[in-house]
Amino acid sequence: MATATFSPNDLLVSDVPVITRNVTLISGQNLKRGAVLGNITASDKYTLSLSASADGSQTPGLVLAADADASGGDLVVPAYASGAFDSTKLVFGTGHTAATVEAAFRKEGAPLYVRTLK
């Protein structure tokens, strides 16, 4: 059975309002809280955003709000649609960095921010 669990890890920083929404994580993934997600345009499902993808998911759009094991099938999960995140706590797919994800969020006009804490 697919499951999602919340485990705090200081991912959220700053006083930017936090907004979550439920999205469908495509099957076959086991992701940790803080994974940067992209939307697969054809199915409207989400997956770990990889910069080399060509299905729409190459554009980061949300941040996973809880650990999620969708290895047994598609799973509805909470994802952050607004917030500021510690860059060291985010999980980036291949080809993404804190800078490229922040740039993608700015380009899309998303109220999501990647912060490098000192």
Q: What is the pLDDT of residues 36-77, one digit of tens each?
A: 999 999 999 999 999 999 999 999 999 999 999 999 999 999
Per-residue confidence (pLDDT) for residue 96, from 0 to 100: 97
Q: Which two tokens stand for residue 7?
A: 């485990």
Per-residue confidence (pLDDT) for residue 13, from 0 to 100: 86
pLDDT band at 116 (very low <50, low <70, confident <90, very high): confident
User: For residue 84, how many other CB atoms are within 10 A of its CB?
Assistant: 18
Q: Answer yes or no: are the C-beta atoms of 38 and 89 closer than 8 Å.
A: no
Per-residue confidence (pLDDT) for residue 15, from 0 to 100: 79
Q: Answer yes or no: are the C-beta atoms of 117 and 86 closer than 8 Å.
A: yes
Eight-class DSSP state of 90: -
Using the predicted structure, report yes or no on whether residue 117 has a pLDDT greater than 90: no
H helix or E strand, kind and range, residue 99: helix 98-108
Question: Domain ranges in the chain?
Answer: 3-115
The CATH superfamily holding the domain 3-115 is Head decoration protein D (2.40.300.10)
Per-residue confidence (pLDDT) for residue 2, from 0 to 100: 58
Those residues with Cβ within 8 angstroms of residue 32's Cβ, 6 or more apart along the chain or in another chain: 64, 67, 91
